[in-house]
Structures are given as structure tokens and as C-alpha cells.
Structure 1
């Protein structure tokens, strides 16, 4: 005789299908950090880390220099984040100029250090115009495939887990790209190679992210496209970033910042502009927010304080309990 079937779902006596109450899905929150270059910079960075940790982000990304120029300091920062904080590191990794064997070693080292998130990037081409060394990976999609291969070989060690792989997306045309349509094809190729999500480069106009989302979805890109925003509070930084990225800043915002009466007014203008940009991206359908902190927390937290992000409720951990006791 078969045992009786026990239902774990309460019976619905109304005759209508059971519906899950609608609620706003949580928005992912993350920050970007870069390895310090001096003892003084390290002290400042760790003050920032403690402040950011209190906001319970989903992860923090740790940058990686061109061709791995700061490999050791990046690994040191990742290791310390895991040992001394509750933060989950997302390790940047660039492939240009690196051989396949060298990249396999780096990915293996990251996995051995407990890293389960990698941001796979091509990296900047040599500034002097020298050719890429023979045998090195040339594209981010190749790096995504390599990470998946290493993951597969080590699946038993990962307890059948999965490494989360992020890639870059461009709200405005990449400086080396023939068109925005080509950028979308590249993003689609990275998704097909195994990417789980993308973080955008900085943008200054709300419609740029919304247009990226529309173009990507029409082309078949289904992974989350997380808008990357920076606190728009420094004229010097905005102009420098424009030089490096080729993304023109908002001229009206630059003018308002330059005409500000003092640093406090400049901060107020820049923070509000950043909040408006982030809210526009969220209204367009963004599933998260990535803040480029430049290893400074004050303006990033000012922006966060002005946003109403639906965040998951997390149980207190020992460190949290110590902070509120």
C-alpha cells in the first residue's frame, strides 16, 4: 500500500489561483575599489572599506592593472577583504598582453583564494602602439571562455558551484568600435561565452543607459546590465575621465560645478546630479547599481543616502552585532 501523499501547500478554498504578493525586487549594490599604492593610501582605503561595509553591498570589485601590473597588491587586498570583512570581492582580470597559461594560473590562484566572482576585461592596448604579444588573448570573450574552462576542471573543488563572471558594457560607443551596434554584438558574444552580468562604463546622460538597455534586449542580450555611476562632484576628475574614456561629460553640469560658490555647493550639485542619473537608470529597468568610489566613501554614501533602494534583509553577523552593540 502506498503511503499517503502529504501536501505542503495550504489548500486554496477560494477557487482562484494562488498569487504571490507583488513587491519590488531587491536592487543589487556594489562598489569599485583599487589596490593602494602607498601606506598612506592603504590607510585611507581601509577607512573607506569600513564605511562601505556598513551598507551591506552585494560585492566590491577590485581593479587589476594593465597586464597585471599590480597583481600582488590586488591579491593582497582581496585576501584581506575576505579575512577581515564580510565583503565579497569581485576580482577584475584583464587578458590583453597575457598568455593563456599565465591567465590560467591567475584564475586558479583567485579560485584558491576563495574568489567566486571575476570581472573579465580585455584591458587597454599598449599606449605606445606596440603589437600584442603572440599567444596572448585578445578579447574579453576569450577570457570568459577560459575562466569557464578552469571552473569546469575544478568543479569538484568548488562543490559543483558556479563562478559569477561579469563583463563590461558601453552606454556610448567604445572608442575603438565602428558603431554602437558593433558594441552590442560584442556584448552578445560575451554572453554566449558564459558571462552572467555586465557593468557599464561611466555615462553622463540618463538616456544613454536607457538606450543601451533597449538595443541590448532587442539583440538578445538577457544578462543584467548594471549601470556604473561615479559621484559627479569633481570637475578635475570628470575632465580626466573624459580624456581617458573618450566619453564627453555633461557640459551644463560642468558649468554648474565650476560656478559653485564653495566646495559644499559643488558637492550638493554633484550629488544631486548623480542621484538623478542613478534614479533614471533604475526607472529604465536597471537591476543594480555599481558605484565607482575612487577609494573615497563620503560622496558615494551621500548618493546612497538620497536613493531609496529596495535591498534584501540580511541577518546580523558577528561583525554587524559588534557595530550596533
Structure 2
């Protein structure tokens, strides 16, 4: 039997729809830079509001029509009906999208606000699988790749970290293929998540989500949004930095240390949150030598298969 090399680390990025023409031009530059690293996919964030939905679909169209990148479409279920979600998944398939990141989404600020038919992500995963089965011909009898969120630090709405693990296990049972973590700032948080998940029976790959943060205000906003306390040394270093280049270096150094530890501990790859800025993201993956390692693995595999 031929021997095939180990699977190279996966590489993916996250971008979001631009809000202005200037931001759109900047994102085009970012997409070109990300494409040069040959990632597995680029995820596109989504919100259930009509305007955000429209701009998300426009960005997915752009990626499919004008780049060689493969888009992963975010999809949230809060505030949505089963019919609307079904139509969206069918539309993704018709566009050529073959991957979905299925999430609950943010609850409405008003406790009495409309929460939709599906209160949890696992129900959305099951809906996606049903739509997939109904579109087997369009998919060439293949499957949609479904990713989900995982939390190295307890979700702010969760009663416990162990509850988060049980939720992740439920997502796997509903048909999730892999998970991407929320940002974290301590290497043991990713390692602890994976250990607890494996003990509970979660077997899907868990990819660390990394952010080469280069702005202390963004770090503070991120902490407020996610409930994840930022590393105080990182915050202090960013606050003391005098130039953009210095802040970028600090963010890349910090993210690279997290990534190396995660990869050493068996992480299947890395997912980089870009905030639509390519410099820190591409410097991070170059620092990790991911493009070279992935290219070498492809060449090695091709040589072995052709031998």
C-alpha cells in the first residue's frame, strides 16, 4: 500500500462585508493578499438584518466570481424562520458555496424580541443537512462542510464551561464536521478545550481562532463583545507602542506564540480573524511557515501518488 504524508495544517481566514466604498477597495487588496497564501477557505460573516444579508451575499458573489478563494458562508438562525433559512441554504448551494459556518447568532437586545424558530445552532445544522439531502444532484451527491463555533473560555451566556462542551457535542451529533474557536489569549485555554471536548466524546477537529490584534481599543471592544479577558501584557505592549508597524509586530508575535503551542499540541490548522486587514494575518502565516509547509505537503503527495 502507498504511504501518504500527514495532512498539512489547514489555513483559513475570516472577513466581513465592507460598509463603505473605501472599505471595499481595502478589502479587495486584502483578498488578493490572502489568496497569495492559498488558504483552504475564507469565511464571510453574516447578520440576519436585511442589509447585512445583502452585503454578505454580494461579498460571496465577488469571491466566487473574481477570485480563486473558496468562501465559507456564515449563517445564523436567531430571528429567522425555517423557510428563510432553507431558502438561504439553497441559494448558497446554487452559487457554488460548499461550506457553511452554522451559528445561533446574537440574541435580540429586547427580551421580548423575535428569536425565530430555531433557538440553538444544532437545529440549524439539522436543517442544513435536510436541505443538503434535497439537493444531492446539485451537489454531485456530495456534502456541505459544516463548521460550528467552540469556546475556549466560557460563553458569557453559558452557566459553565462544561455546558459549552455539552453544546459542542450536541452540534457534532447534529452533523457538524469541525469547529473553529472564538479568540483566546492563553495557550492553555485551547489545550484545555480540546482535552475536555475529547473526554466528553467530541471527535471533530477543533481549529484555533487567532487574531493578530494591533490596536488596544479593538482589543478592548473584542473583550467586551466576547467576555474574554485580554492578556494584560499584550494590552500594555500595544498601549506603549508608538508606530503602526510596532503594533503589528506585537500582535503577530503574540498570535504566533499561541499558534505554535496549538499546533504542537495537535491543532489541525489555524483560522485567522483579519478584521479585513491583511498585513498582520499574512505576516502571521508566514511566521508559522504555513504556505511553505502546505505547498511541500501538496508536492510530496503528488509525487507519491504519481510514483
C-alpha separation in 2, matches of 1:267 and 1:79: 31
Contact 1:68-1:94 at 8 Å conserved across structures: no
Give the aligned partner of residue 300 of structure 1.
281
Q: 1:127 aligns with which of 109, 115, 137?
A: 109
Residue 208 of structure 2 corresponds to which residue in structure 1?
227
Larger radius of gyration: 1
- Residues 1-325 of structure 1: pairs in structure 2 closer than 5 A: 20=3, 23-67=5-49, 69-133=51-115, 136-309=117-290, 310-312=293-295
Match of 2:302 in 1: none
State the alpha-carbon separation in 1 of the partners of residues 126 and 112 from structure 2.
Answer: 26
2-structure distance, mates of 1:269, 1:295: 18
Change (3 A) 1:69 1:222: farther
Distance 1:69 1:142 in 2: 24
Q: TM-score, normalised by structure 1?
A: 0.87
Q: Distance in 1 between matches of 2:254 and 2:288?
A: 12
> The residue matched to 2:42 in structure 1 has which SS?
strand
Structure 1, residues 248-297: CA drift from partner, whole Å, max 9, x if none? 00012111221234333332222111110111111111101000000010
Bigger share in helix:
2
Over the aligned positions, Cα root-mean-square deviation in angstroms equals 1.6
Q: Matches of 1:274 and 1:119 in 2, distance apart?
A: 23
Q: Secondary structure at the match of 1:71?
A: helix
The list of structure 1 runs, each at least 4 consecutive aligned residues, that deviate by more than 6 angstroms after superposition, is none
Equivalent residue, structure 2, for 1:322: none
- Cα distance in 1 for partners of 2:170, 2:51 equals 27
Q: Distance in 2 between matches of 1:58 and 1:20?
A: 23
Could you say which residue in structure 1 is the equivalent of 2:304? none
TM-score by length of 2: 0.92
- Whole-Å separation in 1 of the counterparts to 2:143 and 2:18: 29
What residue in structure 2 maps to residue 13 of structure 1?
none
Instruction: Say whether the 8 Å CA contact 1:66–1:124 is kept in structure 2.
Output: no
What is the CA–CA distance in structure 2 between the aligned matches of 1:312 and 1:185, rounded to whole Å? Answer: 37
Q: Deviations over 1:72-100 (max 9, x none)?
A: 11111111111111110000000001010
Residues 238 and 250 in structure 2, CA contact (< 8 A), matched pair in contact too: yes
Counterpart position of 1:4? none
- Quick one: distance in 1 between partners of 2:188 and 2:88? 38
Moved more, 64-73 or 138-147: 64-73
Contact 2:136 2:142 in 1 (8 A): yes
Q: What's the offset of the Cα at 1:69?
A: 4.3
> How far did residue 130 of structure 1 move?
2.8
Which range moved further: 264-273 or 110-119? 264-273
Cα distance in structure 1, aligned partners of 2:273 and 2:96: 24
Matches of 2:210 and 2:227, distance apart in 1: 16
Contact 1:166 1:196 (8 Å CA) reproduced: yes
- Segments of 5+ residues of structure 1 without an aligned counterpart are 1-8, 10-18, 316-325
Q: When the two structures are aligned, how many residues end up with a matched partner?
A: 296
